[in-house]
Structure 1
Amino acid sequence: MSTVLETEEHTALRAAVAALGKRYGREYITALAREGEHPRELWAEAGRLGYLGVNLPQEYGGGGAGMAELSIVLEELGAAGSPLLMMVVSPAICGTVIARFGTEAQKRAWLPGLSDGTRTMSFGITEPDAGSNSHRITTTARRDAGGDWVLTGRKVFISGVDISDATLVVGRTEDARSGRLKPCLFVVPRDTPGFDRTPIDMELQSAEKQFELVLDDVRLPADALVGEEEDTGLLQLFAGLNPERIMTAAFGIGMGRYALGRAVEYARTRQVWKAPIGAHQAVAHPLAVAHIELELARLMMQKAAALYDSGDDTGAGEAANMAKYAAGEACVKAVDQAVHTLGGNGLTREYGLASLITASRVARIAPVSREMVLNYVSHQTLGLPKSY
């Protein structure tokens, strides 16, 4: 499903990734989720084919492309019923931050593995008492007498920590010049002493698990800080958050396309009276609306990716938030309408839609709620005053 905004290379990438996704499919993903396993085979093959690191620099094993290409990969895997949630985290957020701001040693250590899928990284920002307010992050890092970093704090709803080699943790350090706390990012290896994880019991059926993290005087070497100490700040943080929103949009669009495809197939063949149910406007029109809204969301996602890849971080921030909002809404509506189209069959395992009722809400509430997106647009775009 290409558009006039995409190149021949993009069209070919879509077709190749779609073929890969179909070889695995929805049954593969849901079976692993029920068994508490991870899609290791699909992840490994996507890495070998160069899809996981398509956005990362060529000199470190990546494809040298950008978020436009990476979002195509996730969207097409999702449309085939086999999305890889960790793509949002490992190559898009963590890979981007390290590629843009990491030291040369950090780039050599992490980017080749993130590119080919042999290494994975989680992203730890959300805290129990901070929610969407990154200014209230209480995870702090201080220097000890020997120059090491010591991290203390808590994180919640952190994806895939059990399968990641490390977590890119967002904390705060004291600025030597101003004395104020400023954002900073640290690479925390999975088995570091004092770095403990507890699974969160989720109703969501997903191969990727959610965790609460406790950092109890986690001691890290000086080079665990991403980039140079004097350069840390909001720019590094938002370098990862804009790709996160773009990729969440791709996740939602892919899921919505999968659900819509199942519903259209069913509506074409399900016959109760003289014609298939898809001939009735009460069935056909809501599916047409779902298709339109998914297409509109993709256009905004493509705009956000193009702005980001061109280096326009400010423009990308606005567009990425809008794309995430539009995709989340379109995904939920497409899934709901697909279930209604199938009736009772929409709630059976055979058709693979029931579990999407819960999963589709992820695109609406994470990584930032639709209400916070509306706050962003009303304040940053429309210039309206804040109520908080």
Structure 2
Amino acid sequence: MSAFAESEERQELRKQVAKLASGFGREYFTDLARNGGKTTELWMAIAGAGYLGINVAEEYGGGGGGIGDVAAVCEELAAQGCPLLLMVVSPAICGTVIGRYGTDEQKQKWLPGICDGTGTMAFAITEPDAGTNTHNITTTARRDGDGWVLRGRKIWISGVDEAQNVLVVARTEDEKTGKLKPCLFVVPTDADGFEFNAIPMELVSPEKQFQVFIDDVRLPADALVGDENGGLAQLFAGLNPERIMAASFNTGLARYALDRAVAYAKEREVFNGPIGSHQAIAHPLAQSHIEIEMARLMTQKAAALYDAGDEMAAGEAANMAKYASAEAACDAADRAVQTHGGFGASQEYGVASLLVAARVGRIAPVSREMILNFVSMHSLGLPKSY
């Protein structure tokens, strides 16, 4: 088999996920979003088929695969019109961090629920006054007897209302230096002092964004994941998977937009022929196909490097994949609307809602500007700008 083709197992995985997701589809997704529903049925179907925790070790209820496998699941869901943000968060970020740094007891406690859908976990890092500058987060954890007390605020936290726990990035005081260092804590969403409010969004999705308030939340000692002195390495262990998953989310969204545009371009007839026969329609769609395939290839490269343990190369590739996929998704969504003409703005054809969804990909989980900063510094060796 060609080195540029995915394994037969991965291709079969994609086929089966697409088959499952097609039974739900875009109408299911948008109806839930507009009527306040949740994609619980789809989430549990993914879990029941063994796809939700496919990247988690088998001994904890997972499939024993890599980040490339769960990224494929994420992409195929999005390509069927059901892009799930919690796929990026729960199995990929939280599952990876706990699987790598958690004790065996912590893995037994949290990973099976992540895999079977009964213990979905959100991730909370961003803060109102820190934004992209993670070094400035102010959520703190202090020792209290054998446990911890957390206090702070988070914003733009996905799916808190659907999660049983949240992996919170806080800071503790280093006993030797007195400086604050980042640490990771699992916080139950029903804990006393833990509150969250939904942020009104133009984004059409059943998965909501939240502002989180952590007011002296008391946690047991085993809520701390990993070494208290592990520092940024433990935090960043989840960020490369996050970028790879975001890229898969974006390419799946782009594929869905392009598929809708191509289908319409074949059936809509103007001037005695289908509009797809005109280069003004055909060429932009062909360009999107090229952009999507390039983004997919870089995403697969990033996943392969990560699964091979090459963190440095994976970091560069993951950032590039996320950048390329967001650009491809924005272009594909815009071209899908343009191809549909006036119908592109209607709910009936379901492409207008893709504009906001795709545009968010240029901002989250890391902005295109910060990716360009990363590439400028680490790939080109240019001076740091911030």
Q: TM-score, normalised by structure 1?
A: 0.97
SS in 2 for 1:248: helix
Q: Write the distance in 2 (CA, Å) between the matches of 1:229 and 1:328.
A: 35
Structure 1 residues 190-339: aligned runs within 5 Å: 190-230=189-229, 232-339=230-337
Structure 1 residues 204 and 3, CA gap change in structure 2 (3 angstroms): farther
Q: Write the distance in 2 (CA, Å) between the matches of 1:148 and 1:92.
A: 27
Aligned to 1:134: 134
- C-alpha contact 2:78 2:249 (8 A) present in aligned 1: yes
Q: How far has the Cα of 1:169 moved from its partner?
A: 0.2
- C-alpha contact 2:305 2:311 (8 A) present in aligned 1: yes
Q: Write the distance in 2 (CA, Å) between the matches of 1:4 and 1:154.
A: 44
Structure 1 residues 33-52: aligned runs within 5 Å: 33-52=33-52
- C-alpha contact 2:101 2:226 (8 A) present in aligned 1: yes
Aligned to 1:156: 155
Q: Write the distance in 2 (CA, Å) between the matches of 1:346 and 1:176.
A: 59
Once the two structures are superposed, residues 175-203 of structure 1 have per-residue CA deviations (whole angstroms, 9 ceiling, x without a partner) of: 22332211100000011111111111111
Matched, 1:17 2:4: no
- C-alpha contact 2:373 2:385 (8 A) present in aligned 1: no
Matched, 1:110 2:110: yes
SS in 2 for 1:38: coil
Q: Write the distance in 2 (CA, Å) between the matches of 1:140 and 1:379.
A: 30
| Residue 377 (structure 1) aligned to one of 364, 375, 378 | 375
Aligned to 2:166: 167
Q: Write the distance in 1 (CA, Å) between the matches of 2:228 and 2:104.
A: 15
Q: Which amino acid aligns with 2:169?
A: V
Q: Which runs of 5+ in 2 are unaligned?
A: none
Q: Which amino acid aligns with 2:153?
A: R
Q: How far has the Cα of 1:165 moved from its partner?
A: 0.3
Moved more, 195-204 or 121-130: 195-204
Aligned to 2:100: 100
Q: Which amino acid aligns with 2:18?
A: A
CA RMSD of aligned residues (A): 1.2
- C-alpha contact 2:172 2:180 (8 A) present in aligned 1: yes
Q: How far has the Cα of 1:309 moved from its partner?
A: 0.6
- C-alpha contact 1:103 1:228 (8 A) present in aligned 2: no
Q: Which amino acid aligns with 1:75?
A: E
- C-alpha contact 2:57 2:64 (8 A) present in aligned 1: yes
Q: Write the distance in 1 (CA, Å) between the matches of 2:34 and 2:3.
A: 36
Q: How far has the Cα of 1:352 moved from its partner?
A: 1.0
Q: How far has the Cα of 1:3 moved from its partner?
A: 9.2
Q: Which amino acid aligns with 1:109?
A: K
Moved more, 200-209 or 2-11: 2-11
Q: Write the distance in 1 (CA, Å) between the matches of 2:151 and 2:311.
A: 30
SS in 1 for 2:152: strand
Q: Which amino acid aligns with 1:22?
A: S
Identity over aligned pairs, percent? 64
Once the two structures are superposed, residues 294-315 of structure 1 have per-residue CA deviations (whole angstroms, 9 ceiling, x without a partner) of: 0000011001101111111111
Matched, 1:347 2:345: yes
Aligned to 1:84: 84
Q: Write the distance in 2 (CA, Å) between the matches of 1:228 and 1:71.
A: 28
Q: TM-score, normalised by structure 2?
A: 0.98
- C-alpha contact 1:26 1:82 (8 A) present in aligned 2: yes
Q: How far has the Cα of 1:264 moved from its partner?
A: 0.4
Q: Which amino acid aligns with 2:382?
A: L
SS in 2 for 1:112: helix
Once the two structures are superposed, residues 338-373 of structure 1 have per-residue CA deviations (whole angstroms, 9 ceiling, x without a partner) of: 100010111111211111111111211100110010
